[in-house]
Amino acid sequence: MEYQEIVKQKVKEIQKKVQNGQDVLILAIESSCDETSIAVVKNGREVLSNEIASQIDIHTRFGGVVPEVASRNHILCINNVLKKSLQTANVSLDDIDAVAVTYGAGLSGALMVGVNFAKGLALSKNLPLVAVNHIKGHISANYIQNKELKPPFICLVVSGGHTAILKIDDYMHHTLIGQTLDDAIGEAFDKVARVVGLGYPGGPKIDKEAKKGEYNLHFVKKSDLDKTYNVSYSGLKTAVINYLHQKEQNHEAINVADVACSFQHEAVDMLVDKVIRAAKEYDLKTVAMAGGVAANSYLREEMSKKCLQNGLELTYPSLILCTDNGAMIGAEAYNNIVVDNNVCYDLTVSPNPSLKL
Ligand code: KG4
Ligand code: ZN
């Protein structure tokens, strides 16, 4: 029998296993940026292993992720990450029901490594291949964190490439409520960290520095956007850059901690109120957060406080599940394979660097 026919049957078998309450194991691969990660996820919500090889130390020298360097390092370590992941989960490839992989969005060469590795594994073991949208994976990290979580809920997606308020309608569909009109919040954190001299990776460095500072600088004024669910980060980013230039021209010292703290306050505050308003308007009692910036300590604190004040339940992934990781890809793949019969599970998938949500 051809591979195509075999995997069609296997997908049906997986769906039957789910109906009968039998365990389903997914091996999930993530290589969209500078983390090579492979996880084994049981029944979409239980993480048996989540090995992550981070390249942060390598890219720090260059002040940011160098795509070519990222691809080479994925190639160098992916086999080892697979071995460790199977070892930690205490399973072999023969125990796996399906392979999942991030196919976008991300760096083209980096995605190529993961996608081709996944294709090789799927073909050699006659397993279905589930192609996963990276940002949907970030959202699904919440199902691992909160085993009781079920749609519908409001989800704030905050990453290096996305800033959006979504209504998660069901496991496959969502409605866009608001988004950034220009830069993503993570991009703004990274840019501000660079211009203020904190370097890469920007988000965590601003977060840490902000703890030493005070919110005593005001970069953005109230705008018409306040009444909508949309946000804009280019104005805030430019205001910080202009402030720094002015200080430099006047030979005045800069308090980096205050700049970090004030920027972080304004970047986060403009989102939190909108998320609460969205939950009320759509009459939803649960709020979730997803993406790298969901690791931000001030965002977590502020959102927790406001959700509590408004009687809303808040869920966000642990720090390790906020960064890029294979487990979230496994959780999303499970939702795809179980809920949607028309999911793409063959070998025709190719990386899509600009894949939309
Ligand atoms: O979700 P992610 O891996 O990016 C995409 O998938 O696009 O998130 C990376 C982004 C970076 O911009 C990084 O600076 C930011 O998340 N980030 C943070 C923190 N940790 C990571 N931003 C603010 N505070 C943090 N603690
Ligand atoms: Zn990500």
Q: What separation, in Å, do the N-terminal and C-terminal C-alpha atoms of the chain show?
A: 35
For the Cβ of 106 lying below 6 angstroms from any atom of ligand 1, the answer is: no
224 secondary structure, DSSP code: G
Q: Which of 268, 293, 356 to mutate to test the pocket of ligand 1 (most atoms within 8 A of CB)?
A: 293
Burial of 342 (0-12, 13-18, 19+ CB in 10 A): exposed
Q: What is the pLDDT of residues 153-207, one digit of tens each?
A: 999 999 999 999 999 999 999 999 999 999 999 999 999 999 999 998 899 999 9
| Amino acid 56: pLDDT | 83
CA distances from 118 to 15, 25, 31, 185, 208 (A): 21, 15, 11, 31, 36
For the Cβ of 133 lying below 6 angstroms from any atom of ligand 1, the answer is: no
Helix axes 326-339, 134-145, angle to 10 degrees: 90
CA atoms within 13 A on the CB side of 240: 28
Ligand 1 center–CA 294 separation, angstroms: 8
| Structural domains present in the chain | 3-140+323-337 (3.30.420.40), 151-317 (3.30.420.40)
Looking at the DSSP bridge assignments, the partners of residue 53 are 36
Ligand 1 center–CA 293 separation, angstroms: 4
- With CA atoms as reference, report the closest residue to 189 among 251, 127, 267, 273: 267
Q: Which structure tokens are listed for 93?
A: 């490839």
User: Do residues 167 and 221 lie in contact, with contact meaning Cβ atoms separated by under 8 Å?
Assistant: no
For the Cβ of 159 lying below 6 angstroms from any atom of ligand 1, the answer is: yes
Q: Which structure tokens are listed for 126?
A: 């006659």
* pTM given for the model: 0.96
Distance CA 354, CA 357 (A): 10
Distance CA 95, CA 89 (A): 11
Looking at the DSSP bridge assignments, the partners of residue 29 are 38, 101
User: Do residues 279 and 310 lie in contact, with contact meaning Cβ atoms separated by under 8 Å?
Assistant: yes
| Amino acid 65: pLDDT | 84
Q: Which residues of the chain have pLDDT under 70?
A: 340-345
Task: Return phi, psi of residue 355, to 5°.
Answer: -55, 130
For the Cβ of 156 lying below 6 angstroms from any atom of ligand 1, the answer is: no
Helix axes 202-210, 297-309, angle to 10 degrees: 70
| Amino acid 37: pLDDT | 98
User: Do residues 258 and 213 lie in contact, with contact meaning Cβ atoms separated by under 8 Å?
Assistant: yes
Ligand 2 center–CA 281 separation, angstroms: 28
Q: Which ligand is nearest to the CA of 316?
A: 1
For the Cβ of 163 lying below 6 angstroms from any atom of ligand 1, the answer is: no
Q: Which structure tokens are listed for 68?
A: 């070519």
User: Do residues 56 and 70 lie in contact, with contact meaning Cβ atoms separated by under 8 Å?
Assistant: no
Q: What's the longest Cα–Cα distance across the chain?
A: 75
Single-letter amino acid, residue 19: Q
User: Do residues 51 and 38 lie in contact, with contact meaning Cβ atoms separated by under 8 Å?
Assistant: yes
DSSP H or E segment with residue 156: strand 153-158
| Amino acid 121: pLDDT | 97
Ligand 2 center–CA 3 separation, angstroms: 31
Q: Which of 65, 189, 198, 357 to mutate to test the pocket of ligand 1 (most atoms within 8 A of CB)?
A: 189
